[in-house]
Amino acid sequence: MLVRVLKSVFFKSATGKAGRYARNAGSLVELLGKVLNKTNTLKGATYDSLREKVMLLVRLLKAYVKGEYKAVPWKTLTRIIAVLLYFLSPIDVIPDILPIVGLTDDIALVVWLFNAIGDDLDAFREWESKRNTITIG
């Protein structure tokens, strides 16, 4: 299924738009708002892992937009945006309106992304944990 998603007109369209979003902070902020809204509609333990992964991507992009975290390669940035654009689209390889199976392609794509950019996500998590560490003394 993943190959079908990656070769689909839907993902190719999202990939084509990703660079424009990456260059426009306003568009990126708007995208993040929509992603948060959709993520908040995913209820139940079935979607816990997907929500967790998407929220990590949102935090990374927020830090990038704010200028707090710039250590993200362009290819990684555009891949994240493309996957989130695909995630937002209700019409894709498996339409999201189909009960139970509708998000299967989205989940497969997010898992692929995490495998593809794992080192960059690890670096962000490390940066995030250092940033959130409170030093006493």
**What integer pLDDT is reported at residue 134 of this predicted model?**
63
Alpha-carbon gap, residue 114 to 111, rounded angstroms? 5
**What integer pLDDT is reported at residue 92 of this predicted model?**
92
Alpha-carbon gap, residue 110 to 118, rounded angstroms? 11
Asked if residue 51 belongs to a domain, the reply is yes
**What integer pLDDT is reported at residue 119 of this predicted model?**
98
**What integer pLDDT is reported at residue 69 of this predicted model?**
97
Domain span at residue 39 reads 2-132
The total domain count for the chain is 1
Neighbouring CB atoms inside 10 A of 68's CB total 11
**What integer pLDDT is reported at residue 135 of this predicted model?**
58
Angle between helices 74-88 and 104-116 (to 10 degrees): 170
Rg (CA), the chain: 15
Note the pTM of the prediction, 2 decimals. 0.93
**At 96, phi and psi to the nearest 5?**
-65, -20
**What integer pLDDT is reported at residue 96 of this predicted model?**
87
pLDDT beneath 50, residues of the chain: none
Amino acid letter, residue 53: K
pLDDT in tens, 14-53: 999 999 999 999 999 999 999 999 999 998 898 999 999 9
Asked if residue 137 belongs to a domain, the reply is no
